[in-house]
Structure 1
């Protein structure tokens, strides 16, 4: 019987170089997507999948993330006094229960694999999710809920993927599959940015994973890889020798909010998806064009 996925690691320590200069003053994952920060959507997605404990891997100057998910008595009291109950409910929706958040300093930008390894003591011997907040996923069934459902069906390790045109595969990490069987397929390998025309599929590694705790000793021993960083994919490839990995082609649309144009697209898409604002947003876009 598979253990339930209760914990998620959210690596938020990145410097946000692709969205500078704004990331100098505001952690990139608190940048706005319409009327909420990126992390608000990501945490909501994870909560809908049954995640109970959020482990944020942070760096210096990111205390605002911790404050965002805490209560704010001054703002809440002012809204309550003015009878602004709708706004108060919006403010309180992101407050996480006591004991459900942990914050770990990564100390140095040594890569995604190192960020995940930093959470080892809090994860213990449980399977866990890894959620990359830069990748904001819009889906009718939240992406993490789709991932957990796949895990409950096949167990092991799950990597969320999505298709790109064959001409784009050289830009991404690509999975190799043992044939394709619907949206969940057994993986045989991964390759980072394959030379054009050599990719084993057109499915790129996206921003959601479920991994088994046996990944941690592999990360512990692993040396630096591409970019001089400890790469998560290197240890995943090693773990694949002893454990099953499946790729889940999720149903939804991904917006890369670590990129200026990706963030702009997310703002437009999420505004248009809100029934109470959609007409006004559409009119504003039309005026600009």
Structure 2
């Protein structure tokens, strides 16, 4: 693409407010293609007196930001699956909705939660099975107050880890992610179980934990019954540990479904993130 002059860029920004939607779309496409040149002028146009220009400028800048985040996400996805880190991936996804997210703040929050549980818990309990999980569930769901967001299940904030930590509300997989991140700091052997229709956790190959329902403990038979009752049938893989890469794919899929009607541009960007995770896996 040829280099644009300042005058051409300002003219294109002005055309974003054109009543003819096709003209505005052409201007948008050209400005996105000229991103490095156009970005300073787009930032300036955030305060345009024309509300259409302001709205469309915001949309373009958001697209440019997500593109840059996508490049960082691509580098993350290229790592071997064994090195894919749930915490890093969850923060990258959260940046899609919260660009100024303070990772250090939330990492410290997770560290403090783990340290607090360790202080409160008798050392003898830390080595026991069901008793340990019951103690951790009490701390996580009752003392800290994490819960399934029954009333606002399709709120995108249920899928952003910073918001789950702040609001103590989430959906099964995001609550599972927070639970796992604290459990790993405590060296409690918990894994994610990507069961169709409902994400669970599993402790030490024996107990299944339902994070959306206050850590309700289930046995294998109850999990199989859930699958059968909900029309999924049963396959042993349904109750196998879910690799981190595919936990992140599932988190992204939830957001894509929510944004597909609310914010198609954001849904497209997140679909690109998901594709990076799956395509990188296929190349390994």
For the criterion TM > 0.5, the same-fold answer is no
State the structure with more CA Rg.
2
Q: Give TM-score, length-normalised by structure 1.
A: 0.25
More contact order relative to length (CA 8 Å, sep ≥ 6)? 1
More helix by share: 2
